[in-house]
Chains A and B, each alone.
Chain A
């Protein structure tokens, strides 16, 4: 099943977009089948050539698999890209923290910069943690062996796209 879709090839392309290396390539080889149709036949060729994001919104309009990537998928993509990475509460909290630090600069410039450094590191950790969790869930959807239905894989891919779009804005 996997081989006939030349999964490895697709994985490579997908990875280009993510700027990642072998680690992810393995991961994507398995679910490549569903990607195959999408990636080979969609205008993705253009962004790939430019080393740009592969799974952009441009997937929908000209994709021959339009009947599969239908309105639902479109809305999913849109939701995916518009949903902020952090929830409102976290964002508010972080923003308050940032404002405190910025206000503190006049009094303690060095300490303010140090705190800003810590805050940014915290945010990155938070996002990393968040995506690790989300990815764990996603993997659960398709990494259960070969008997995962194409429909499940399709949905998994949509989730990945939402995920991807939030990372690559």
Chain B
């Protein structure tokens, strides 16, 4: 009987020690999985930019907290309609002035962000905020940005500008959502 008790206690102790040792590992696994799942390619991008997975995870979590603290709200139906129309004009304008259309498209995105209560600051901050709600589209936003910079130096060709237009639009269309944001 005594030996049985001792055995049971020993097994329980071993399990506890193993749990204590492996717990954080599991937890970290969970955390990275969760963030990876949520942010997708933005997760990799952040890891690459910061050069450290832990730092990247902290950064992404702080982005989530930051965006949660903002009072992001959808556009009104009227605002939505207006911006749909504005976009159509900018897109048609591309045929005459591709470079200007890109600038206008970027500006429309910023306007909508402002209306929805995103703090509009520098590009990286905007991208970071957008990455929380639109993780799969922020890479498009960044790609468009690169072309927009080339465009400022008159180095972007028409096909690149057209691509930028499509990148911007993918984000713009999502930003126009009328339903409440699923944060």
Interface residues of A (CB under 8 A from B): 99, 102-103, 105-107, 109
Q: B92 contacts A109, CB within 8 Å?
A: no
The smallest beta-carbon distance between B7 and chain A, in angstroms, is 72
The smallest beta-carbon distance between B82 and chain A, in angstroms, is 17
| B161 nearest in chain A by CB position | A106
Of the four ranges (under 10, 10 to 19, 20 to 34, 35 or more), the interface on chain B belongs to: under 10
| B166 nearest in chain A by CB position | A106
The smallest beta-carbon distance between A58 and chain B, in angstroms, is 36
Q: A107 contacts B166, CB within 8 Å?
A: yes
The smallest beta-carbon distance between B29 and chain A, in angstroms, is 42
Which residues from 162 to 177 on chain B have a C-beta closer than 8 Å to any C-beta of chain A?
Answer: 162, 165-166, 169
The smallest beta-carbon distance between B3 and chain A, in angstroms, is 78
- Using Cβ atoms and an 8 Å threshold, which residues of chain A touch B178? none
- Using Cβ atoms and an 8 Å threshold, which residues of chain B touch A103? 88, 91-92
Q: B166 contacts A105, CB within 8 Å?
A: no
Identify A102's interface contact among B92, B165, B166, B169, CB under 8 A.
B92
Interface residues of B (CB under 8 A from A): 88, 91-92, 94-95, 162, 165-166, 169
**Assembly CA distance A165 to B165 (angstroms):** 43
- Using Cβ atoms and an 8 Å threshold, which residues of chain A touch B94? 105-106
**Assembly CA distance A106 to B164 (angstroms):** 10
- Using Cβ atoms and an 8 Å threshold, which residues of chain A touch B92? 99, 102-103, 105
The smallest beta-carbon distance between B83 and chain A, in angstroms, is 15
**Assembly CA distance A127 to B62 (angstroms):** 65
- Using Cβ atoms and an 8 Å threshold, which residues of chain A touch B91? 103, 106
**Assembly CA distance A118 to B169 (angstroms):** 28
- Using Cβ atoms and an 8 Å threshold, which residues of chain A touch B165? 106
**Assembly CA distance A105 to B92 (angstroms):** 8
- Using Cβ atoms and an 8 Å threshold, which residues of chain B touch A109? 162
| A107 nearest in chain B by CB position | B166
**Assembly CA distance A99 to B88 (angstroms):** 10
- Using Cβ atoms and an 8 Å threshold, which residues of chain B touch A107? 166
**Assembly CA distance A105 to B88 (angstroms):** 11
| B162 nearest in chain A by CB position | A106
The smallest beta-carbon distance between A122 and chain B, in angstroms, is 19
- Using Cβ atoms and an 8 Å threshold, which residues of chain B touch A102? 92, 95
**Assembly CA distance A43 to B94 (angstroms):** 47
| B164 nearest in chain A by CB position | A106
- Using Cβ atoms and an 8 Å threshold, which residues of chain A touch B88? 103
**Assembly CA distance A103 to B165 (angstroms):** 12
**Assembly CA distance A102 to B95 (angstroms):** 7
- Using Cβ atoms and an 8 Å threshold, which residues of chain A touch B162? 105-106, 109
The smallest beta-carbon distance between B151 and chain A, in angstroms, is 15
| B101 nearest in chain A by CB position | A106
**Assembly CA distance A103 to B95 (angstroms):** 8
**Assembly CA distance A21 to B91 (angstroms):** 45
The smallest beta-carbon distance between A110 and chain B, in angstroms, is 12
* Contacts A/B (CB < 8 Å), 18 sampled: A99-B92, A102-B92, A102-B95, A103-B88, A103-B91, A103-B92, A105-B92, A105-B94, A105-B95, A105-B162, A106-B91, A106-B94, A106-B162, A106-B165, A106-B166, A106-B169, A107-B166, A109-B162
